[in-house]
Amino acid sequence: MTSSSDIGLYVHIPFCRRRCHFCAFYLEIAQPDRIAQFHSALIQEMALHGQHNFLKGRTLQSIYLGGGTPTALPADQLASLLRQIRATWPTSPTAEITVEAHPSYITVEDLRVLVEAGFNRISFGAESMNETDFAPIGRYGQVQDTQRAVRVARDAGLSNINLDLMYGLPGQSFQGWLTTLDSLLTLEPSHVSCYALTVEDGTRLAQDIARNLVVRPDELLQIDMESAAERILTEAGLSRYEISNYAKPTYPCRHNLLYWTGGEYLGLGPSAQSYLDGTRFGKVADLEAYSTCLNDNRLPMTDRTTLSPSEQQRDALVFGLRLLHGVPLQAITAAERDAEINGLYAQGFLEIDQERVWLTPLGRRYADSVAERLF
């Protein structure tokens, strides 16, 4: 678990070689000149944060390079970025240092450079282990790329390997999902994230569904797929610790636990979010505006909101209920508590004991609305 002194750093690398049809993240297609522009702005962003001493000398317990696809940048550039981070902020010698990667675009040489630099966790977007699932979601690559990437990551010295999966893909059957889970387990990941496919406005997937080119995800099938994933992954020794996340003992993602336990983090890069000293703020989601601000020696901050104690309590509840062990009873506002808890318990959304409240499998499907009712 996290403690109040834990603090994390997130870096958003806003590039991919192509955009998957379901993806709504802020990113652009990787081009050398844009990467160079981003990299120099990011170095300046770190320098300015260092000068302003935002982290007040606190030690980083986790560093997470996400995106986008961080490995769209050359491995030696990522290594130099990590050196720069460590030169700017004290970093725990036991910090969890993650890089997200696309399995089709990583070599054993890249992985050696990354491990040598200090990355000790890698997260691959596998999405499915059945290639016929890829075309409708515009996911580039082959299943054998994932198998090769995990093997070479392990050979390079990484034991903490996450694989992301999505379920409810267009045309994916229940049996196909079981096959994907079985095939994934042969790779022996230490951590698996399973996300139900959702259709975000403005994506190519939303357009394809509107034109009847692709079928909309079947939510009832997704519920069955989620239950099957829990059973199969748990039997394989990967415990579910958060709505979408499973890990072997000692391998829950420390960085993401910061988000779910009200921990603090600084986000760098366009669109990155931060939470420090009770204040949430973002960085502008536009590479041009981001670079212009930093060239001007200004931090590209946006949407700054200082949370009242009551808002902090609400956020702690919304995020904390995502964890399988839930939240302490005291996290729930006393005046509202008894009637709502009893109602949600009677409806099968909550479990409760003397100390904690947590979501049932049914409650997990409606986690946000349950949290709203409790606050």
Residues near ligand SF4 (CB under 6 A) are 16, 19-20, 23, 25, 27, 67-69, 102, 125
CB of 48 to ligand SF4, least distance (A): 26
CB of 176 to ligand SF4, least distance (A): 20
Q: What angle, 0 to 180 degrees and rounded to 10, lies between the N-to-C axes of helices 32-52 and 75-88?
A: 10
Cβ nearer to ligand SF4, comparing 102 with 283 = 102
Strand partners, 283: 301
CA dist 164 to 14, 64, 158, 194, 323, Å?
19, 15, 17, 6, 18
CB of 66 to ligand SF4, least distance (A): 8
CA dist 114 to 97, 137, 150, 152, 225, Å?
10, 29, 14, 12, 35
Check if the beta carbon of residue 231 is closer than 8 Å to that of residue 278.
Answer: no
Q: φ and ψ at 17, to 5 degrees?
A: -75, -30
Where are any strands of DSSP class E within the chain?
Answer: 7-13, 15-16, 28-29, 60-67, 91-101, 121-127, 161-167, 191-196, 239-242, 245-247, 264-268, 273-276, 279-283, 301-306, 327-328, 350-352, 356-359
Cβ nearer to ligand SF4, comparing 114 with 318 = 114
Cβ nearer to ligand SF4, comparing 102 with 314 = 102
CB of 65 to ligand SF4, least distance (A): 12
Cβ nearer to ligand SF4, comparing 19 with 337 = 19
Cβ nearer to ligand SF4, comparing 16 with 247 = 16
CB of 260 to ligand SF4, least distance (A): 21
Cβ nearer to ligand SF4, comparing 7 with 23 = 23
CB of 68 to ligand SF4, least distance (A): 5
